[in-house]
A and B are shown apart, each in its own frame.
Chain A
Amino acid sequence: MLYREAGQFKATYAEDSQIFPIRQDKIGFWLLMLVFGVAVPLFTNEYWLKAILIPVLIFSLAAIGLNILTGYAGQLSLGSAAFMAVGAFAAYNFILRIEGMPFLVALVLAGLTAAAVGILFGLPSLRIKGFYLAVATLAAQFFIVWALVKFPWFSNNSSSGVVTAQDVTILGYTFVTPEAKYILTFLIVAFMALLAKNMVRSSTGRAWMAVRDMDVAAQVIGFRLMRTKLLAFAVSSFYCGVAGALYAYTYIGTVEPEGFNLDLSFKILFMIIIGGVGSIMGSFLGAAFIVLLPIFLDNVVPAIFGDSLGAGFVSNFQLIVFGGLIIFFLIVEPHGLARLWQIAKEKLRLWPFPH
Chain B
Amino acid sequence: MQFFIEVLVGGLLSGVMYALVALGFVLIYKASGVFNFAQGAMVFFAALTFVGFQEVLPGWLGLEADSSVVFWLAFLLAFIAMIVLGIATERIVLRPLVNQPHITLFMATIGLTYVVEGIAQMVWGANVRGLDLGIVDEPIAWLMDNYEVGVSKFDLFAAGVAASLVALLAILFQYTKVGRALRAVADDHQAALSIGIPLQTIWRVVWAVAGFVALVAGMIWGARNGVQFALTFTALKALPVLILGGFTSVPGAIIGGLIIGASEKLAEVYVGPFVGGGIEGWFPYMLALAFLLVRPEGLFGEKHIDRV
Chain A interface residues toward B at CB < 8 A:
76, 124, 127-128, 130-132, 134-136, 138-139, 142-143, 146, 149-151, 214-217, 220, 262, 266, 269, 273, 312-313, 316-320, 322-327, 330-331, 334
Q: From DSSP, what is the main secondary structure of chain B's interface residues?
A: helix
A-B contact pairs, 14 of them (CB 8 A): A130-B102, A146-B281, A216-B308, A312-B121, A312-B126, A316-B117, A316-B118, A320-B118, A323-B114, A323-B116, A323-B117, A326-B110, A327-B111, A327-B112
Nearest-neighbour CB distance to chain B for A91, whole angstroms, equals 23
Which residues on the A side are within 8 Å of B121 (C-beta)? 312, 316, 319
Residue B253 is within 8 A (CB to CB) of chain A in the complex = no
**With contact pairs A320-B122, A323-B114 given, residues A151 and B102 touching in the complex (Cβ less than 8 Å):** no
Residues of chain B touching chain A, judged by Cβ–Cβ distance below 8 Å, are 35, 92-93, 96-97, 100, 102-104, 106-108, 110-119, 121-122, 125-126, 236, 239-240, 242-243, 247, 275-279, 281-282, 285-286, 288-289, 292-293, 296, 298, 306-308
Nearest chain B residue, comparing its CB with the CB of A123: B293
A289 to chain B, nearest CB (A): 14
- Chain A hits for B276, CB < 8 A: 150-151
| Smallest CB separation, B297 vs chain A (Å) | 8
Whether B286 contacts A327 by the Cβ 8 Å rule is no
**Is B285 touching A323 in the complex (CB atoms < 8 A)?**
no
> In the complex the two chains form, is A130's CB within 8 Å of B103's CB?
yes
> For B239, what are the chain A residues with a Cβ–Cβ distance below 8 Å?
135, 138
Which residues of B sit under 8 angstroms from A318, Cβ to Cβ?
118
Give bound CA distance, A191 to B102, whole Å: 34
Q: How far is the CA of A76 from the CA of B112 in the complex (A)?
A: 18
Compute how far the CA of A136 lies from the CA of B308 in the bound complex, rounded to whole angstroms.
25
Contacts of A143 in B (CB 8 A): 282, 285-286
The answer to whether A124 touches B114, judged by C-beta atoms less than 8 angstroms apart, is no
How many residue-residue contacts, CB under 8 A, span A and B? 131
Contact partner of A266 among B102, B110, B279, B308, CB < 8 A?
B110
B253 to chain A, nearest CB (A): 14
Known: A138-B239, A143-B286, A327-B93. A127 touches B119 (CB 8 A): no
Distance from B276 Cβ to chain A, minimum over Cβ atoms (Å): 4
The answer to whether B281 touches A142, judged by C-beta atoms less than 8 angstroms apart, is: yes
* Contact of A136 with B285 in the complex, beta carbons under 8 Å: yes
| Cα separation A59 to B146 with both chains bound (whole Å) | 60
Contact B112 A331 (CB under 8 A): no
Contact of B292 among A132, A316, A317 (CB under 8 A): A132
Given contacts A124-B292, A136-B292, A319-B114, contact A331 B96 (CB under 8 A): yes
**Sample of 5 more A-B contacts, CB < 8 Å, known A322-B111, A324-B115, A334-B100:** A127-B296, A132-B243, A316-B122, A317-B118, A323-B118
Contact, CB under 8 Å: A139 / B289? yes
Q: Contact check: which of A124, A215, A323 meets B111 at CB < 8 Å?
A: A323
Return chain A residues, CB-CB under 8 Å to B110: 266, 269, 323, 326
Q: What are the nearest 8 A-B pairs in CB distance? A: A326-B111, A323-B114, A319-B118, A139-B285, A323-B115, A320-B118, A142-B282, A143-B282
